Structure 1
Amino acid sequence: MSILDKPKTKRRSLHDLIPVAVVRPGDGIDYAWIRDLINDLRADAGLTPLTHEK
């Protein structure tokens, strides 16, 4: 291996890095539920909640 060769690294699948969820229409997840989830996550991160404007 010469100095100019880059080390070969295997990239992990995107699915290994980011959890993926499947939402079905019968799950009861609507705009308000998603908005509340995002605001809870923002609060946990020390960020201000989003406004309720669309």
Structure 2
Amino acid sequence: ISGGMLIPGNIPNIISAGKLNITSKEWARLGVPLGLVLMVLYFVWIFYIPFHIEFHL
């Protein structure tokens, strides 16, 4: 997730930004807030929810 927040984070971002003529500033304006929200949600999902659910076999 954190790699997707900025253009140099991964190869598909570089290709997409080149094809769409998007600058780093434009990408970061959307990518950073969205990436931070998703990281918080995944943190809660991975570290909080499993400890509060009873697993029955």
TM-score over 0.5 for the pair: no
* Structure ranking higher on relative contact order (CA contacts 8 Å, 6+ apart): 2
TM-score, structure 2 normalization: 0.32
TM-score, structure 1 normalization: 0.33
